[in-house]
């Protein structure tokens, strides 16, 4: 049995309107999801820096060093970090370091370097200073270092 154009169901304007509304809703949801994914693309890296500065603010330098190296058990094998040992880290980030005692901080944002790269630069306002701290966060292992830029 074959059907023809004459056997088609009658046009239902409510069904057609509903179909357009569903399509429009799906398009809007896809656009919102894409915008949110773009805005929060470096959320994980910013969160690591937030945890790092929170530890510095508590003056918990050992935890901060563990976050810097992305190894909470760094005390079990400190020889692994001979290139940037805890003592040097404490000189850089402790009370006598460039930023002094961290009393306040604010994550200003993050940037992906031009031409790609293996990490993200996160900018932080420390102690309401005009000069900003810029940290490099490796995407693959979430280790921190000073920004090369």
Burial label, 117 (beta-carbon count in 10 A; 0-12, 13-18, 19+): middle
pLDDT at 23 over 80: yes
pLDDT at 77 over 80: yes
Q: Hey, is 139 helix, strand or coil? A: coil
Q: What is the CATH number of domain 43-146?
A: 3.10.450
Q: How far is CA 121 from CA 42, 101, 115, 134, 137, in A?
A: 9, 22, 13, 6, 6
Quote the pLDDT of residue 2.
Answer: 64
For 25-67, the pLDDT digits (tens) are: 999 999 999 999 998 999 999 999 999 999 999 999 999 999 9
Give the global pTM. 0.80
pLDDT at 1 over 60: no
End-to-end alpha-carbon separation of the chain, Å? 73
pLDDT > 90 in the chain, percent: 78
Domain boundaries, the chain: 9-39, 43-146
């Amino acid at each position: 049995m074959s059907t023809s154009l004459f056997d088609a169901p009658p046009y239902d304007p409510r069904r057609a309107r509903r179909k357009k509304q569903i399509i429009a809703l799906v398009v809007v949801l896809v656009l919102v999801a894409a915008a949110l994914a773009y805005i929060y693309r470096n959320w994980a890296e910013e969160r690591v820096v937030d945890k790092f500065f929170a530890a510095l603010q508590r003056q918990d330098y050992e935890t901060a060093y563990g976050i810097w190296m992305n190894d909470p058990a760094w005390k079990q094998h400190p020889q692994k970090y001979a290139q940037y040992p805890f003592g040097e880290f404490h000189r850089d980030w402790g009370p006598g370091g460039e930023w002094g005692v961290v009393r306040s901080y604010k994550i200003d944002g993050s940037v992906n370097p031009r031409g790609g790269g293996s990490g993200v630069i996160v900018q932080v306002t420390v102690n309401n200073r005009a000069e900003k701290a810029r940290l490099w966060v490796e995407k693959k292992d979430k280790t921190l270092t000073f920004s090369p830029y």
